[in-house]
Homo-oligomer: A and B are copies of this chain.
Amino acid sequence: MSFIIQKIKELGLELPPAPKPVGAYIPAIRTGNLIFTSGILPVIDGKVIYTKEIGGFLNSVSRGYDAAKLCALNALSVINDIAGLDNIERIIKVTGFVNSAPSFNDQPKVINGASELLVSIFGENGKHVRSAVGVNELPLLASVELELIVQVK
């Protein structure tokens, strides 16, 4: 069994099925030894689970954190489909867009949901660069959209 999928289980989590694209694109692509994912939403079974802006009345930071964590799991799933998670050498970059209520400035605490998960799973090789950015609207009303760049063997 995959070492990384085992590790995900040990964290009490499960690799979800890779979400299907919501437009005319593919979920992940390899060029050289890098894999780029598409912008990944907090989806389960085709349904966006975390919706609407973070930091307003509806969604606390902790809900945003969970959304980012789900995005990261989904992103790993699309990478698994094209390359196998055990072939990931290092996580290079996370870009996280946070649907942000006016005056909400804790985007880093939200995207930590993805970053901390990646370090939990990949250890030293999970340490990555990151941008966390607030935006006013995201596709399908999602709370978070997340991209990964990883280096593979």
Contact = CB atoms under 8 A, between A and B. Distances in A.
Interface residues of A, number: 58
A94 B131 CA distance: 13
How often does this chain occur in the complex, in copies? 3
A80 to B, nearest CB: 15
A151 B98 CA distance: 29
Most buried by B among A21, A38, A90: A38
Given A105-B138, A106-B139, A133 B25 contact: no
16 contacts: A23-B108, A23-B111, A23-B115, A23-B132, A24-B115, A24-B119, A25-B130, A27-B129, A36-B149, A39-B131, A39-B133, A98-B137, A100-B136, A106-B139, A133-B138, A133-B139
